[in-house]
Amino acid sequence: MNSGKLRKHSRRELLQMLAAGGAALVLNACRVPPAPPPAGTTPAPTLLPPTPTTPAGWQPPTTIRITPNDDFYTMKFHPSRPPAVDPDSYRLEISGEVDTPLSLSLADLKALPAVTEMRTLECISNPVGGNLMGNATWTGVSMAALLAAASVRPAGKHLKLESLDSYHTGIPIELALDEHALLVYEMNGEPLPAKHGYPLRCLWPGRYGQKQPKWIQRITVQRQPHLGHFEAEGWSDEAIILPNARIEQPPPRQVQPADFYVAGVAFYNDSGLNAVDVSLDNGATWQPAELLRGPSERTWTEWWLLAENASTGTMRVLARVTDGSGRVQALPRDSSSLLSGTFPNGTDEMHRVVVQVKNEGS
C-alpha cells in the first residue's frame, strides 16, 4: 500500500495489476433477524430449510458433504425477491482511502486469477441444532489482490460494504487482507444463484454470514469503522463464529436398537478444532467422536460415535466441540429464550437429542 500521488491507470493496466497481485494466491449471506422486539409484540417467523433426513443403515461418511445450491439456507434483508442485476452494466466499485479507485465489471473480475475454496457458512441467528448452516465450494477472486490494485492509503483501516438490496455492514481491513478473504461469483461449479448473491458476494474467514453480504456493489475504504444495519440494532460487530456441533443422527425420539450411531457436523472459527465429544447420559460422562475433517478450518467437520449395548429406555444425548483455543461449548440453557438465545453473539450451547432405545433382548 502506498500514499503516493494519484495516477490514472488504463483499464488494461488495472487488470494487469490485479492479475499480478492474485497470481500467487491459489452465502447465501446470512442476514440476521432484527434485535428482539419490544415487549408485547410478536417477532416475524423465521423459515428454516427442510430438516436433513437420515437413511436407514447409516454408515460413517468417507467424503465431506457438500450442500446443494437449492438446499443451501437463505436469509435476506428485504422480504422481496433478490435484486434484478444486468450483468452487462454491473460494476463493483472500490473507492475511499485509495489512490486508484476501481470500477470492475463481472467480466473484469472473471478475467482475474480464480481462487476456489470449500467453505461453510452459518447464520449468527442459527439456533441450537439449527439448519442455518451449509457447506459449498466457491470460486472467485482475492480481496487482498483487489485492495493492492486500488493502492490503499495508510489511513484506510476499515471497509464499508454495501449491497444492491441496501444492506450494509463493515469490517476491519485486516480481515479483508486475509489470504482467504474472497469475492465469489460461482457456487458448487455454477454461476452464483440469484438468491445466494448473484453476481458477487463476500466470503470472510471465521465470521458469521451477517458480515458476508450478498449482491455486493460498493466497497469503501475508510478511516473509521462503519456500523452496519444489524450491528446498530445490537448484534455483534465482530460476529466471530462460536464452536457448535449439530446432532443429525439419530432423529429425536426415534426408537433405536442397542447399537446405533450418533453423528452430525461441527463448525468453529479460525482457531480450528481440537475434539468433538459425545455424552450418552446427559453430560455425566463423555466419549471422543471419530472425525472426518474438511480441507481447512473454514469448513465443517463430520463426526460420529457408535453407541454399543445401550439399555432399553430414554437416553439424553449431547455433543460438544472443543475448538483450537480450548473453548468448550456451554451446557444446554433455557431454549425458550427469544431468538433461541442467539442474540447478540450467536450461540455455543450444546445440542441435546432425546433418544428411545429398545433392546431386542429385553
CATH number of the domain encompassing residue 301: 2.60.40.650
87 with 117, same domain? yes
125 with 222, same domain? yes
**CA of residue 56 relative to chain centroid, distance:** 30
Quick check: 7 pLDDT over 60? no
In a domain, 237, yes or no: no
166 with 296, same domain? no
Q: Sorting pLDDT into bands at 50, 70 and 90, what band is 41?
A: very low
In a domain, 2, yes or no: no
283 with 217, same domain? no
Instruction: Give the chain's domain count.
Output: 2
Higher pLDDT, 1 or 164: 164
Domain end call among 232, 265, 295:
232
170 with 202, same domain? yes
In a domain, 58, yes or no: yes
253 with 225, same domain? no
In a domain, 239, yes or no: no
Quick check: 89 pLDDT over 60? yes
Strand partners, 50: none
214 with 333, same domain? no
Question: What nine digits make up the cell of 113?
Answer: 486469477
Sheet hosting strand 216-222, strand order edge to edge: 102-104, 92-96, 216-222, 158-163, 168-172
Domain end call among 205, 232, 259:
232
126 with 165, same domain? yes
Cell 465450494 maps to which residue?
137
275 vs 104: CA distance, rounded Å: 43
109 with 251, same domain? no
What is the model's pLDDT at position 57? Answer: 72
In a domain, 196, yes or no: yes
91 with 208, same domain? yes
CA atoms within 13 A on the CB side of 242: 23
59 with 156, same domain? yes
Does residue 163 come out as left (phi exceeding 0), alpha (psi in the -120 to 50 range) or beta? beta
Cell 453407541 maps to which residue?
307
Report the predicted TM-score, pTM, of the whole model to 2 decimal places. Answer: 0.86
Please tell me the least confidently modeled range out of 49-53, 104-108, 224-228.
Answer: 49-53
Task: Residue 258: give the domain boundaries.
Answer: 244-357
Domain end call among 183, 204, 232:
232
Task: Return mean pLDDT, the chain.
Answer: 87
Q: Sorting pLDDT into bands at 50, 70 and 90, what band is 334?
A: low
CA atoms within 13 A on the CB side of 27: 32
Buried-state track 95-116, b at ≥16 Cβ within 10 A, e below 16: ebbbbbbbebbbebbeebbbbe
Quick check: 299 pLDDT over 60? yes
CATH code assigned at 18: 3.90.420.10
In a domain, 212, yes or no: yes
40 with 188, same domain? yes
What is the model's pLDDT at position 124? Answer: 96
Express each pLDDT in 137-157 by its tens digit. 999 999 999 999 999 999 999
Provide the total of helices (H) and of strands (E) in the chain, helices listed first.
5, 19
What is the model's pLDDT at position 30? Answer: 57
In a domain, 238, yes or no: no
In a domain, 3, yes or no: no
Quick check: 121 pLDDT over 70? yes
Please tell me the least confidently modeled range out of 6-15, 130-139, 242-251, 293-302.
Answer: 6-15
